[in-house]
Structure 1
């Protein structure tokens, strides 16, 4: 009876953890791809965790009063089975991760390389991002519009960031949009997103870059297309 109660408690804990780990609605194509991968891995990890824990509880209970233990008996069939099962799981995890890493929103450099020297994202909204100790500057294509500490994006449209730094290594990180990319001195890096939910999000620097690192953040505002066009027109008028 006590063993059954413990097994039930362990099962409830695992189920509770799975509910807590369930992803919320994604705010971008990037985040959706990452959440889908996490969900796939969760469906693999939870049964394995439950199996191992139940086996452990059974072994502890079954052999709790074994004062004369015997050597383990070789079982080639069992060893082949668990080795094959482990290999299958690793192949599944590897393939799932590769599919996500090949996504042009997660690894835009791969899409650019496959374009054969052309601009794979010519139709995207282009935003130049300049990182410096300790702030952010955003320039919006050919519109002569520049903002600091506030990034405005159109919803339901592909956006490409051209990332540069004036000093040390920085990293752009927008958790809710699934964007994260290191920025190296002397190089132009690329990040890409496709936001699906208008709203306000946070942007952080994810590389320790000096004494002001903790304050190097910005606000990301995603607007619907009409709102974005109106904002861009107001900014252009004000700049002129």
Structure 2
């Protein structure tokens, strides 16, 4: 009995902690979509996990001294109930995942064909062993290992590699996309918080892979315009 009460107490504390926890605000629409999906799945998985654990604890306690176990009695109504409940849960998960997969800020194929991308700020990204080159076609500005983008504006990254497979990974902005030779890839994002964010290559690309990093700098629009003008005059 003491074991059961202790287990229930720990489960209650865990559930309460998850419910009261306030997630950190996302820094981009990409990250916000991913976090929202994770939250939806959490609120589905949490009650199911608690329900299963409670049944397990009950079964352990209720039948702990059963010296004459008997086969489980057929219960068609119960079997139909849990089958339907499982189907409803799977449909919910599938629909939630579908809307994320069709989000033009998360799926490259959708980003490449989205009509909304016509007004995006386009930046060309070239990955190479072992660094990153970012080119701003409108001005001809080129930077190395430092991507500067404006806040609250849709940005379209057209990515290619000059040698082997690389992968652009910016965890805080929810960006991760493999880049294959002779196959340009497109990623869209809209940063919602100014600041500096780490950028990595997430694909093993040779002996210099571990130092193939960079920085994404998000500036407000006026600061971005000033930076772009300054870079244009110095080149």
Number of the residue aligned with 1:151: 147
Taking the aligned partners of 2:110 and 2:215, their CA distance within structure 1 comes to 28
Q: CA deviation at 1:111?
A: 4.5
Query: Does residue 1:11 correspond to 2:12, yes or no?
Result: yes
Conserved in 2, the CA contact under 8 Å of 1:198 and 1:221? yes
Query: Aligned to 2:97, what secondary structure does the other structure show?
Result: helix
Deviations 1:20-70 (A, max 9, x none): 6x5310111111111111110010010011111111111000000001100
Deviations 1:86-120 (A, max 9, x none): 111111001000001111111142243365xxxx5
Specify which of 118, 127, 131 is matched with residue 127 of structure 2: 131
Q: Unpaired runs of 5+ in structure 1? A: none
Taking the aligned partners of 1:141 and 1:175, their CA distance within structure 2 comes to 26
Q: CA RMSD in A?
A: 1.5
Taking the aligned partners of 1:45 and 1:97, their CA distance within structure 2 comes to 15
Query: Does residue 1:53 correspond to 2:49, yes or no?
Result: no
Taking the aligned partners of 1:19 and 1:56, their CA distance within structure 2 comes to 26
Query: Aligned to 1:121, what secondary structure does the other structure show?
Result: helix
Number of the residue aligned with 1:100: 100
Q: Unpaired runs of 5+ in structure 2? A: none
Number of the residue aligned with 1:63: 63
Number of the residue aligned with 2:200: 204
Number of the residue aligned with 2:230: 234
Taking the aligned partners of 1:18 and 1:181, their CA distance within structure 2 comes to 32
Alignment TM-score, normalising by the size of structure 1? 0.93
Alignment TM-score, normalising by the size of structure 2? 0.95
Query: Does residue 1:172 correspond to 2:146, yes or no?
Result: no
Taking the aligned partners of 1:53 and 1:220, their CA distance within structure 2 comes to 44
Taking the aligned partners of 2:83 and 2:183, their CA distance within structure 1 comes to 45
Conserved in 2, the CA contact under 8 Å of 1:138 and 1:147? yes
Conserved in 2, the CA contact under 8 Å of 1:155 and 1:222? yes
Taking the aligned partners of 2:157 and 2:29, their CA distance within structure 1 comes to 15
Taking the aligned partners of 2:82 and 2:96, their CA distance within structure 1 comes to 21
Query: Does residue 1:30 correspond to 2:26, yes or no?
Result: no
Number of the residue aligned with 2:177: 181
Q: CA deviation at 1:17?
A: 4.9
Deviations 1:158-190 (A, max 9, x none): 000000001111111111111111101001100
How many residues are paired up?
A: 234
Number of the residue aligned with 1:90: 90
Q: CA deviation at 1:14?
A: 3.6
Q: CA deviation at 1:142?
A: 2.1
Q: CA deviation at 1:209?
A: 1.2
Conserved in 1, the CA contact under 8 Å of 2:151 and 2:221? yes
